[in-house]
Structure 1
Amino acid sequence: MERRDDVRRAADAQAQPPPAEVAYDQWWAGDLGSAVRCSGALLCLLLLIDWAAGDITPARGALWATLAVLLFVILHPARVAAGEDWLASRGLVREHRVRTDHLVSVHWLDGVSQRLVLRDSFGGRVEIDPQVLVANPGLWYRLDKGARRSSSRGSLTCGETALRRVAERIDSETALAVFKVSGLE
């Protein structure tokens, strides 16, 4: 009886695929630390100026603290993660998730900060910085794999150019890194 249970457990373990690995933004913690340091430096600087001028009051201190918190909210980086057929971006308040194997569109937004906007057929929408994909090959691999599935299904109607643009940027960054390491820059 005991042997049968062991065989059954072993068969069940082999029948279930191993959980897919999740890739995270490796630089998120450093970016979060930078946001905290910038906010703290602003608060300290403003309080120091008020203290030196002799104008420091609790109300002004609260105002400066509010400004520092506002700066932190603005600078807080989104935590980007990707797994088998999904990509998620978690901000301070909520998480946005998109199914990469059901992508409908991918748009590249230029401006003060570049953004990549992904939409899936279920209404999911994720907006991320393309530099996160460039700096994290695991995230790019999972996104590209799912986008290729979407493209082969025919659901990705708009965005192959944006994905190609990210791929070219990743290729050029990789080539530069190889040249630097080999001393051929």
Structure 2
Amino acid sequence: MTILKVAELGNPILRCQAKSIDMFSEPKIVKLIDDLISTAELNNGVGIAAPQVSESYRLFIVASRPNIRYPQAPKMSPTAIINPIITSYSSEIVKDWEGCLSVPGFRGLVPRDRAIEVEYTNIAGDRVRKIFTDFIARIFQHELDHLDGLVFLDRLESSEDLYTEAEYEKRMRDEG
């Protein structure tokens, strides 16, 4: 497994529509999945999308687990999500904190659907339908945005919802 360089805000690949994957078990895709998992883990990410490592594929990893960046994250085995779509959204929108490996040093209060029903292909080539809620739904929506050329900054309702990492940490300490 290789740790990949994360593309940061300003890199044009983060603003491009990613390409669908046809050959799910192609060695290049299998290796990319392994490398994405390693890269997310090393960087304390709970998800990472292929465009974030300069690969224009409709592929991301959801790898929620408690870590220094997200101490309250639920534990979930790293899951490869290929060619995802959201088939339905909840009527409830929740505003919560997000950060991004491609936007280092910042956190934002981002509105997202609390629950989503999704379809995606797994590494075996099977089509999967699931309902995700709360933090996992947030990760899924955040990573799906990367496949469509969006970053969490594009979802902020106000510039007042954007904090530096240091101010975010201070706020969390003060509230905790």
TM-score by length of 1: 0.24
**Structure showing greater relative contact order (alpha-carbon pairs closer than 8 Å, 6 or more residues apart):** 2
TM-score by length of 2: 0.25
